[in-house]
Structure 1
Amino acid sequence: MTIDQQLDELGRQWMAAELSGDAEALDALAAPGFTLVGPLGFILVKDQWVSRFREGALVMHEMSWTDVTVREYGDTAVAIGVLTQRASYQGAPADGRFRVTQITVRDGDRRRLAGLHYSPIAAPPARP
């Protein structure tokens, strides 16, 4: 399986787990040192990221992961793509469109998430 295929499969598993709120699947997908940098600059370690789903605080209604480019650096690979989501956090809307950097590491014969970094994609300026 090519690195593109591996990360495509990991992306499908990640989205399926978030959409179904499957905290155990997310826990298994993430490496022990996993770190998320959120769209407002906050940082979550693995347990904090997973607990948002376990507790039902973050609910994903729709997700898409598109325009993905992949670079491999030995046992590490970086995928950069566009994540569009319709979601709620503690009942408040958490919709958005983000440029996401996904860092993965080789763990035996599979890949695991080592980090996610979300950056909001600004709406284009209004034309006069």
Structure 2
Amino acid sequence: MTIDQRLDGLSRQWMEAERRGDAEALDALAVPDFTLVGPLGFILNKDQWLARYRGGGMVTHEMSWAEVTVREYGDTAVAIGVLAQRAAFQGTPADGRFRVTQISVRVGDRRLLAGLHYSPIAAPPARP
């Protein structure tokens, strides 16, 4: 199985768990020191990330992951892709398209999420 296939499986499990709001499944998919950097620059540790689902504050209606490129460095893989979501946090829309960097590590025979970094997608600044 190639790294792309292994990461595709991890990504499908991650997105499905987010759509279901399944904090236990997300917990099992991430390393203990998992970190998320949100699209506005905020940082969530694993407990904070999971609490958004446990409390029902984060609701994901739709999510897709496309245009993915993968690089592997030993037990670590870096996937960069476009994530599109229709979601709400505490009733406030959190819809959008984001460039996401997904960092995963091999733990035994599994791949686990070590980090996610969301960035807004915008055109490069104009040159002066």
- Name the TM-score class by shorter chain: over 0.9
Identity, % of aligned positions: 80
Summarize the alignment of residues 32-71 of structure 1 with structure 2, pairs less than 5 Å apart.
32-71=32-71
Question: Which whole-Å CA distance do the structure 1 matches of 2:123 and 2:58 have between them?
Answer: 24
**Shift of residue 79 of structure 1?**
0.3
What TM-score does the superposition give when structure 2 sets the normalisation length? 0.94
**Shift of residue 3 of structure 1?**
0.5
1:50-99 superposed Cα distances (whole Å, 9 cap, x missing partner): 11011111100000000000000000000000000000000011001000
**Which residue in 1 is equivalent to 2:23?**
23
**Which residue in 1 is equivalent to 2:79?**
79
SS at match of 2:56: coil
Question: Which whole-Å CA distance do the structure 2 matches of 1:123 and 1:21 have between them?
Answer: 32
Q: How many residues align?
A: 124
Runs of 4+ in 1 over 6 A off after TM superposition: none
**Shift of residue 41 of structure 1?**
0.2
What TM-score does the superposition give when structure 1 sets the normalisation length? 0.94
SS at match of 2:81: strand
Question: Which whole-Å CA distance do the structure 1 matches of 2:87 and 2:122 have between them?
Answer: 18
Question: Which whole-Å CA distance do the structure 1 matches of 2:8 and 2:120 have between them?
Answer: 22
**Which residue in 1 is equivalent to 2:102?**
102
Q: Is residue 2:125 matched to residue 1:92? A: no
Give the CA RMSD over aligned residues: 1.1
Question: Which whole-Å CA distance do the structure 2 matches of 1:27 and 1:46 have between them?
Answer: 8
Query: Is there any run of 5+ residues in structure 1 with no aligned partner, and where?
Result: none
Question: Which whole-Å CA distance do the structure 1 matches of 2:38 and 2:76 have between them?
Answer: 21
Query: Is there any run of 5+ residues in structure 2 with no aligned partner, and where?
Result: none
